[in-house]
Amino acid sequence: MTGPEQVAVRLVLNGERVSALVDSDATLVDALREDFDVTGVRIGCRNGDCGTCTALVDDRCVKTCLVLAGRASGSEVRTLEGLGTEESPSAIQQAFMECYSFQCGFCLPGMVFAAEELLDRTPDPTDAQIRDALSGNLCRCTGYQNFVRGVHRAAEIRRDGTSQT
């Protein structure tokens, strides 16, 4: 008995061209973590409910536990590592820090990228729009109110270019 076939996966990952041979049944989250050493995506539920594995794939918010790595070959993938740096965080990262939007950080990939996608299409969202956009992500530490505040603050930073860092 032999194991799964291997497939070549080529990505533009956080702006860098990368490739690896992965098992044909490997999910994208597994390939990102095991083959590309990207740990900003996390393994949670493995069925798309929690959002810890979220990344942008071709500028779309994707739960990478639901995608076979081979299907993502040729895509551009952006994880938390490609969003901003400690010295120069993205507006959403800065706002989430300012508003204490997260505690343990496990839900962060889903929350950040859901917020990013929302603000890209709705620059000044309502509370209801924010809650709807974030609803596919589970946070066990907070009551979500600080995430709503964080998204409003990120919208302000994007709009006004204000920064407190």
Q: Are residues 73 and 30 in the same domain?
A: yes
Q: Identify the domain containing residue 143 by its residue range.
A: 91-160
Task: Express each pLDDT in 32-75 by its tens digit.
Answer: 999 999 999 999 999 999 999 999 999 999 999 999 999 999 99
Kindly give the residue spans of alpha helices, DSSP state H, lying in the chain: 28-30, 69-72, 91-98, 108-121, 127-134, 145-160
In a domain, 1, yes or no: no
Residue 165 lies in a domain: no
92-101 b/e with 16+ CB inside 10 Å = b?
Answer: bbbbbebbeb
Query: What CATH number should be reported for the domain holding residue 144?
Result: 1.10.150.120
pLDDT at position 102 is 84
Q: Is residue 134 part of a domain?
A: yes
For 105-162, the pLDDT digits (tens) are: 889 999 999 999 999 999 999 999 999 999 989 988 877 899 999 999 999 999 998 6
Identify the CA nearest to 130 among candidates 89, 87, 85, 99: 99
Which strands form 60-63's sheet, in the order they lie side by side?
16-23, 6-13, 76-78, 54-57, 60-63
For residues 77 and 95, membership in a common domain is answered with no
Identify the domain boundary among 81, 104, 119: 81
Which residue in this structure is represented by tokens 């120069």?
88
Residue 99 lies in a domain: yes
Query: Which residue is it, tokens 């889903």?
Result: 110
Same domain flag for 17 and 77: yes
**Cα 4 to chain center, whole Å?**
28
Out of 81, 105, 138, a domain closes at 81
Same domain, yes or no: 96 and 73: no
CATH number of the domain where residue 32 is located: 3.10.20.30
- Which residues, 6+ apart, have CB-to-CB distance to 56 below 8 Å? 62, 76, 77, 78, 79, 113, 116, 117
Same domain? 56 vs 101: no
Q: Indicate the SS3 state at residue 78.
A: strand
